């Protein structure tokens, strides 16, 4: 078993660069053996051939991705070996969607210099309401609110931010999940007021491109222009006692403990049916100064 000839030839050498700045190269070698029975595995294993993942001599960002031996149709001892090189060695969705919608003249080859990319989709959520659009209280003929309460649909937006970084997701960002923005900030096309955007998730995938190993982050924010506070009717079956820090059952005018909750005033005492209902506002989600984007 022996090789009798090895040479790289000029015929068939090519190069290509596409709109995503990915380059490919082709080199061609001739290998001759002393026995026509030698197959492609032997021909493609010549010690002078490039190896998979070896670098292209003129462009060290390109790696050998395939070696293809083809037997010559007129000479069974001769093999034509085609070697392919490429920039992209791990195709990923993160690479495919970066810079979409951007002016081609402004697109950047270095992934670490690319601007943030944003996607926006609308969301909706139910909200219990206490008044109709004319300001009338939504209640039964006795003045009690309906249970379950009347709900309307409110709108918001899910804003997804994509960015590239040499670093993985930091513990500071992880700790920010489920929290609201403490101060106003710019989020893509929106100027978001304090307490209106909640960070829902942060993801990061490792990507190799243009000779650089980096992390592609995806941050998902939910934006509600009307805020995240909860407005709840101030009702109960117990009221504050005249004795400090004690409570007592509310007695109906007809005697006996009330069977349904009644409105309370701001001091915790039962209101009369003729008095205006009161509501309490709760800010449940904690606020935090998001790290810089």
Q: What are the strands, taking DSSP E only, across 224-273? A: 230-233, 235-236, 238-240, 247-249, 262-263
Output the six-digit token pair for 82. Answer: 């085609």
Chain center to CA of 157 = 14
Contact 293, 192 (CB under 8 A): no
Quick one: pLDDT band at residue 200, thresholds 50, 70, 90? very high
User: For the chain, what is the mean pLDDT?
Assistant: 89
**Cα torsion 183, 186, 187, 189: sign:** positive
In a 3-state reduction of DSSP, which class is residue 244?
A: coil
* Widest Cα–Cα separation across the chain: 113
pLDDT at residue 106, rounded to an integer: 82
Helices vs. strands in the chain: H and E counts, helices first: 3, 19
pTM above 0.75, yes or no: no
pLDDT at residue 5, rounded to an integer: 95
Q: Tell me how far apart the alpha carbons of residues 41 and 21 are, in angstroms, rounded to a whole number.
A: 33
Bigger pLDDT: 149 vs 49: 49
The average pLDDT across 139-150 equals 76
Q: Tell me how far apart the alpha carbons of residues 29 and 104 are, in angstroms, rounded to a whole number.
A: 37
Contact 188, 101 (CB under 8 A): no
Output the six-digit token pair for 249. Answer: 């059952």
In order of 141, 148, 219, the CA distances from 144 in angstroms are: 8, 12, 44
Query: 238: buried, middle or exposed (CB in 10 Å: 19+, 13-18, 0-12)?
Result: middle
Contact 110, 210 (CB under 8 A): yes
In a 3-state reduction of DSSP, which class is residue 174?
A: helix
Chain center to CA of 159 = 9
261 upstream amide cis, omega within 30 of 0:
no
Write the DSSP symbol of residue 98. Answer: T
pLDDT tens for each residue of 207-257: 888 788 999 999 999 999 999 998 887 888 898 887 767 888 888 888 888
pLDDT tens for each residue of 61-114: 899 999 999 999 999 999 999 999 998 656 666 666 788 777 777 888 888 999
Quick one: pLDDT band at residue 120, thresholds 50, 70, 90? very high
């Amino acid at each position: 078993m022996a090789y009798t000839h090895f040479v790289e030839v000029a015929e068939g050498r090519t190069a290509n660069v596409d709109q995503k700045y990915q380059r490919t190269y082709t080199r061609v070698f001739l290998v001759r053996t002393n026995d026509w029975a030698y197959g492609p595995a032997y021909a493609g294993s010549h010690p002078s051939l490039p190896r998979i993942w070896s670098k292209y001599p003129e462009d060290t960002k390109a790696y050998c991705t395939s070696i293809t031996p083809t037997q010559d149709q007129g000479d069974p001892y001769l093999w034509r070996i085609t070697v392919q090189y490429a920039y992209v060695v791990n195709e990923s969705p993160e690479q495919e969607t970066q810079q979409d919608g951007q002016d081609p003249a402004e697109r950047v080859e270095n992934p670490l210099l690319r601007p943030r990319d944003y996607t926006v989709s609308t969301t909706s959520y139910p909200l219990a309401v206490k008044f109709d659009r004319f300001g009338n209280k939504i209640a039964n003929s006795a003045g009690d609110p309906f249970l379950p309460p009347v709900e309307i649909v409110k709108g918001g937006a899910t804003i997804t931010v994509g960015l590239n970084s040499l670093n993985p997701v930091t513990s500071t960002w992880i700790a920010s999940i489920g929290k609201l923005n403490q101060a106003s900030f710019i989020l893509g096309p929106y100027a978001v007021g304090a307490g209106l955007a909640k960070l829902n998730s942060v993801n990061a995938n490792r990507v190799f491109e243009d000779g650089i190993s980096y992390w592609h982050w995806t941050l998902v924010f939910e934006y509600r222009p009307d805020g995240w506070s909860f407005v709840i009717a101030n009702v109960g079956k117990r009221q504050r006692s005249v004795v400090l820090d004690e409570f007592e059952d509310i007695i109906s005018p007809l005697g006996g403990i009330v069977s349904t909750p009644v409105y309370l005033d701001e001091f915790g005492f039962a209101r009369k049916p003729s008095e205006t209902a009161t509501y309490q506002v709760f800010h449940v989600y904690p606020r935090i100064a998001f790290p810089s984007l």
